[in-house]
Amino acid sequence: MRMLHTMLRVADLERSLGFYTEVLGMQLLRRKDYPSGRFTLAFVGYGSEENHTVLELTHNWDTESYTLGDAYGHIALGVDDIRSTCAGIADKGGRVVREPGPMKHGTTVIAFVEDPDGYKVELIELSSKAPA
């Protein structure tokens, strides 16, 4: 078994695609409209679905916003240089909501950014990641 994807419901698909592709540097892997169900699926990621876990963005055409559940946490991305990554995200209009620094009760360096729908994306500096 392997993890295939994580799905997020998004209010504005074009805005979300812009964030994940232009700000976070993912590629749009595939996109398909389902007119009879009134929704669109778009898959984004850093590599092919055959070899990588990807993110499924689901846009329900008749839904303007969602309430984020309090059980949802975040998506995590490993980065080589967290400070320059955060600076690049901010330069592209992304919102850094927790500046880079060590995690509470640990030494792993993390930061958080927020997507257009309010979902949190954790950035983890790979060189600082403590073994599990």
- Please identify every residue annotated as catalytic: 122
Biggest alpha carbon distance in the chain? 50
DSSP letter at 126 equals: G
Instruction: Write the DSSP string, 41-88.
Output: EEEEESS-TTTS-EEEEEEETT----PPPTT---EEEEES-HHHHHHH
Phi, psi of 49 (to 5 degrees): -65, -25
